[in-house]
Amino acid sequence: MPTKGNKSIHLARQLEWFKNKVHDKTIRVGGLLVVITVEGYNTRLSIFSGLLYLAIRPYADTEWDKLPHFILTDDDDWNPAVLYHLNDDCFAWVGRLWRICLMNLVNIVSIKLSTSWISTHMILVSGC
State the residue range of the domain holding 103: 90-123
Q: Are residues 12 and 54 in the same domain?
A: yes
Do residues 40 and 22 share a domain? yes
Do 66 and 48 lie in a common domain?
yes
Q: Is the pLDDT of residue 116 over 60?
A: no
Q: Are 79 and 112 found together in one domain?
A: no
Write down the pTM of the prediction.
0.65
101 and 47 within one domain: no
Give yes or no for residue 14 having a pLDDT over 80: yes
pLDDT at 18: 93
DSSP string, the chain: -PPTTSEEE--HHHHHHTT-EEE-S-GGGT---EEE-TTS-EEE-EEETTEEEEE--PPPHHHHHHS----SS-SSPP-GGGG------HHHHHHHHHHHHHHTT-EEEEEEE-SS-EEEEEE--S--
Whether residues 41 and 73 fall in one domain: yes
Q: Are residues 68 and 16 in the same domain?
A: yes
